[in-house]
Structure 1
């Protein structure tokens, strides 16, 4: 396609390398095309060569490369549209505390009591820039997140984080906290953040579950030139979109094609078999909570301890203030009517039954009658 250098936008970079007669040189960041008689002989009269108009092309190219690299360096790690730029000059240290609130009172439906009982996996997260995403609602889970959400295996996810740290420099550091061996309990970790890596993301697997987890996506700890003192968030279950199981103990059933990561609510997925399906509730109670408290800041970075995914440095909580979620009784459909029996010349009787599928809890609706009878005309009567 023909290119008109006269219409191209230009940028100028000026320097003073002791030029002759005190003149100042400028490099124009614009491509230009000129006739090249040396190429015209082999390509015809229309031969053109494109380059930079400068007496010293080698120096001009080096200067342009420096300008380009500087522009790319300043653009890397900048926030997306609508996000503020962090200008804090210090490195901030935070203590992250994860509190599980998955109790039988708050989530009575199909609450796992054994093999395995309700619990939380290790917490795995990173401090990062805006050009990295550990997970995102509406996005698709990576292979590492799929392995973590389905089986609690952290190796692949940690490898992805470390690759982003080494190659893209979008991850500042990986942090982890020990698992919580019950549905209610606490675990904690320490992390650091600085201006270019002021965002925090983490995930914790719900155990047992098909591919469900809780976490935080790109929480910004910075406000302008200041670090936030304290941040607390309620957490709700999410579906990684890689397994189609409906209940905590569902067998592995891969979702093909893969679905996007989505929040699980009291009405979505809209199926009575779902372990989080509570049609009487407008929204689920929080299943967990995270608190980040700034514990210090300094001009120099500190080295966090190596992630410990196997330890049990946590505590089990039994909070009496947990709200109770009412669980209504659920029964099966009616069976078919039985035979109509009775004496000849008179009305007989027939009956049908149903059974309890979910016992009521926490002052939920009681179970209805499980047997029903009706009058009928006997199909075959017994003579007196």
Structure 2
């Protein structure tokens, strides 16, 4: 029995050490749709007051996930070297190095580019609850230093009862920005460096992006975050941990309570050698479940509880 007890304790230590680092993870698809066109060609969404260049295109979409607001990208300040290189050349390499070296960042992802003025770029990403903010950028190409961006969009909703706390699918309007690093107001990639260097500013209602109505900010496209799926967070795991088992130790009968609002899929009892000794039938809507274990020998057992996405193991002693 001494060896069995030590083995059981080891199992529990390993289990709880693993869930202690658990966090919710969500999968999204990010879809950037460009409306970049002149009002003459697109009376509804047209934004450019001058003709688009024959080689109009978008650079590969640079995406970063991070922990806090403005830690990757910030408007109204001098652009980082990485953002400057994206805005001027559509090159993501320096920005990737910045994200990788930033302790506040988690992941760097690259979506495909777009070899036309209009179209879509789609990229699937995975976001953790510890790093729920998403920032992204793509160059308006060719141009002096113009780009679109989404800065520090938080994908957590604050409502853990829906999508495990992640936002449902939603769409943001996106607008053109000037990185403040290169002069020029036409679609040209060869321009003098700004002196002094400026800050990132909006180009909405500024040439050549005056659009069909200069009295309103006219979007150049949209970014849609499509929620796909997610895992439960540590808080959700704790819901399983809140299930009460009594008496424990038991003489042969136990009661599982606090189960009414839990999507409990299974409850199984294993001996310390890992053999299944009792599969407990689950009926939805019960506030408690009474189980007869009088046929089992005295000793230490493991009660395995599983919800739709997670599992929990509890120690059970029969005297």
> Structure 1 residues 153, 200: CA separation in 2 closer, same or farther (over 3 Å shift)?
same
Kindly indicate whether the alpha-carbon contact (under 8 Å) linking 2:143 and 2:187 is maintained by their aligned counterparts in 1: yes
The aligned counterpart of 2:221 is: 288
Query: How far is 1:122 from its partner?
Result: 0.6
Q: 2: CA distance between counterparts of 1:130 and 1:220? A: 9
Matches within 5 A, 1:1-384: 89-104=23-38, 105=42, 106-114=46-54, 116=55, 118-130=56-68, 133-164=71-102, 168=103, 170-224=104-158, 225=160, 226-249=165-188, 251-266=190-205, 268=206, 274-277=207-210, 281-299=214-232
Query: How far is 1:251 from its partner?
Result: 3.2
The aligned counterpart of 1:10 is: none
The aligned counterpart of 1:71 is: none
Q: 2: CA distance between counterparts of 1:279 and 1:177? A: 30
Residue-pair matches, total: 201
Kindly indicate whether the alpha-carbon contact (under 8 Å) linking 2:29 and 2:226 is maintained by their aligned counterparts in 1: yes
Query: How far is 1:230 from its partner?
Result: 1.1
TM-score where L is the length of structure 1: 0.49
Kindly indicate whether the alpha-carbon contact (under 8 Å) linking 1:134 and 1:202 is maintained by their aligned counterparts in 2: no
Kindly indicate whether the alpha-carbon contact (under 8 Å) linking 1:132 and 1:171 is maintained by their aligned counterparts in 2: no
Q: Which has the larger radius of gyration?
A: 1
| Partner SS, residue 122 of structure 1 | coil
Q: 2: CA distance between counterparts of 1:132 and 1:239? A: 17
> Structure 1 residues 277, 293: CA separation in 2 closer, same or farther (over 3 Å shift)?
closer
TM-score where L is the length of structure 2: 0.59
Q: 1: CA distance between counterparts of 2:27 and 2:126? A: 4
Query: How far is 1:233 from its partner?
Result: 0.3
Kindly indicate whether the alpha-carbon contact (under 8 Å) linking 1:203 and 1:216 is maintained by their aligned counterparts in 2: yes
**Which is richer in strand?**
2
User: Structure 1 regions of 5+ residues with no counterpart?
Assistant: 1-87, 269-273, 301-384
| Partner SS, residue 149 of structure 1 | helix
> Structure 1 residues 279, 187: CA separation in 2 closer, same or farther (over 3 Å shift)?
closer
Kindly indicate whether the alpha-carbon contact (under 8 Å) linking 2:57 and 2:141 is maintained by their aligned counterparts in 1: yes
